[in-house]
Amino acid sequence: MLKNMLKATVFATTFALAGGAFHAAAYAEVVYNRGSAAEPETVDPHKTSTVYEAHVLRDLFEGLVMQDAKAGLIPGAAESWTVSDDGKTYTFKLRKDGVWSDGTPVTSEDFVYAFHRLEDPKTGAEYASMLYPVANAEEVNKGKAKPEEMGVKAIDANTLQITLKAPTPYFLEMLTHQATYPINKASFEKLGAEWVKPGKLVSNGAYTLAEWVPNDHIKMVKNPKFHDAASVKIDVVNFIPTEDRSSAMKRFEAGEMDSYDDLPTEQLPDLKAKFGDQIRVAPYLGTYYYAIKTDKKPWDNPELRNAISMAIDRDFLAEKVWNNSMFPGYSMVPPGIKGYTPAMAKFAEMSQIDREDAAKKILEKLGYSPSNPLKMEIRYNTSENHKNTAVAIQEQLKPLGVEVTLLNTDTKTHYAFLQEKGNYDVARAAWIADYQDPETFLGITRKDSGNNYSSYNSPKFEDAMNKAAADGGKPELRMKDLAEAERIMIDDVGQIPLLYYSFHNIVSPKLHGFEDNVMDVHPSRFISKD
């Protein structure tokens, strides 16, 4: 980057000496070096699974609806939409100036094609269940209906109609998610698996994919064909994956990164003293949890799962491990969603000493003690924060007769293992809201969800979730149904919620438009740099 800037400066200076009126700034690219705590697995919208991919895909593609700098809903590929009186039919009018990066028009057929691919069982999309509110989407995904039977129809090139099974209050916000982005049919069918390669990916967002050097950087350049290109101030975005949070702080201080999306929380007091208001920490909608293998002995015993969950001191984790940058969590749905009261674990009001005593009695009843320990492995992805959390839990469980071993892998390997339903005991995971509704946190534990790492399967939970979906047109009743579903899952310990998230960002004062928000969404198209 420095080399290119020097070239631009020399050229501009030479031009000025020759009588030109331009300055160096007229030729220098504006480059945003954006640090990321992990590398994406893919830039295929239908293969996505993590927030690291979401940040990249949000820059490359544009869905029907998008989010602005403060996570508010704004028109995307669709310039407007209407909703039928019964709340089940959405009609989107696509913008006529919307084109792909190869110059071809973005049409309603592109969305039909993409939605069909997302639900095609051959795709193996983890987010296929997200579209289940669409009529016949679930049936297509399970091979019980043909794609053309889905409630997605191209009325004409610029008109898309989507029909739902029942009113779904969060549907519009759901369409901001990267799994619902369109793909270019011609490019996909011509190139096959190569369609996502740098220089070949045809996208419709503010940026195009120029380079991807694994474990080094992903380079994206401004898309001149984007309909709002005139408002995009950053010319080049380099996503720089750096799992070592301490190393990232050094790179930020050296000016190699303009922002980074996590912090080594054990250093938080020192970082605040050094960087002041460049440190951004505030609550946002996310839950840090441990997935527990509910279909594997002895973890198929809810009583055992409850004992483990009860024995974990969440106050210690929040205060000592995370330096009060996280909050003790006892429900899968974090506080802060309007109209919803999370279903907390029944032991949440007990003192930690009483919890440990109760957990010890359960373990002893099941035959476990320091002389006959329960062996448990905790898997986690690379991060000082995740390691320190696992070590603390290891120490908390040891006196109760639980012998914990730790296994660390990089983030890509970790989540690939979980997605493939690998053999494990307990694994670190997290869920950040895809939309501001309880369903996004509860849906991941449904039996058909590709994100159900615990393999939890409860008919009662499924019935409650189905009832909530059917009651979509009755907001208060729907929230009650969802709370009942969460109560069932929490009592079963289908997952072990540990903490509620705060975002942990460090942001250079050179950046403008990086707005704090409860979704921690920061599209590069709205950011500028001095």
| 3-state per-residue secondary structure call for 302-313 | HHHHHHHHHHCC
Distance between CA 332 and CA 284 in Å, rounded? 14
Residue whose tokens read 């035959």: 367
Backbone φ and ψ of 387, nearest 5° = -65, -45
Closest CA to 152 of 204, 215, 91: 91
Element (H, E) at 210: strand 207-213
Domain assignments of the chain as residue spans, ordered by start: 1-28, 37-232, 283-503
Closest CA to 48 of 174, 142, 141, 177: 177
Structure-token pair, residue 43: 């830039």
pLDDT digits (tens, 9 = 90+) for 490-522: 999 999 999 999 999 999 999 999 999 999 999
Q: Which residues contact 94 (CB under 8 A, 6 or more apart)?
A: 77, 78, 79, 106, 107, 108, 157, 158, 159, 160
Backbone φ and ψ of 99, nearest 5° = -135, 160
Closest CA to 279 of 505, 77, 88, 66: 505
pLDDT band for 27, please (50, 70, 90 cuts).
low
pTM score: 0.86
What is the CATH topology of the domain spanning 283-503?
Dipeptide-binding Protein; domain 3 (3.10.105)
Distance between CA 126 and CA 49 in Å, rounded? 7
C-alpha distances (whole Å) from 443 to each of 20, 439, 461, 466, 483 are 61, 5, 10, 11, 12
10: pLDDT strictly greater than 50: no
pLDDT of residue 395: 98
pLDDT digits (tens, 9 = 90+) for 208-232: 999 999 999 999 999 999 999 999 9
Q: Which residues contact 484 (CB under 8 A, 6 or more apart)?
A: 343, 464
**Surface-to-core class of residue 495, CB atoms within 10 Å of its CB (0-12 exposed, 13-18 middle, 19+ buried):** buried
In order, the DSSP letters of 51-66 are HHHHHHHHHH---SEE
pLDDT digits (tens, 9 = 90+) for 400-428: 999 999 999 999 999 999 999 999 999 99
| Mean pLDDT over each residue of the chain, to the nearest integer | 93
Element (H, E) at 403: strand 402-409
436: pLDDT strictly greater than 80: yes
**Surface-to-core class of residue 523, CB atoms within 10 Å of its CB (0-12 exposed, 13-18 middle, 19+ buried):** buried
Distance between CA 71 and CA 521 in Å, rounded? 6
Stretch 318-333: mean pLDDT, rounded?
96
Neighbours of 464 (CB within 10 A): 22
Residue whose tokens read 């942990």: 504
Structure-token pair, residue 142: 């399970």
pLDDT digits (tens, 9 = 90+) for 78-102: 999 999 999 999 999 999 999 999 9
β-bridge partners, 427: 291, 379
Structure-token pair, residue 169: 């209050």
C-alpha distances (whole Å) from 244 to each of 58, 213, 267, 318 are 24, 18, 13, 21
Closest CA to 114 of 165, 187, 167: 187
pLDDT band for 206, please (50, 70, 90 cuts).
very high
Domain 37-232 has CATH 3.30.565.10: no
Stretch 249-260: mean pLDDT, rounded?
98
Longest CA pairwise span in the chain (Å)? 89
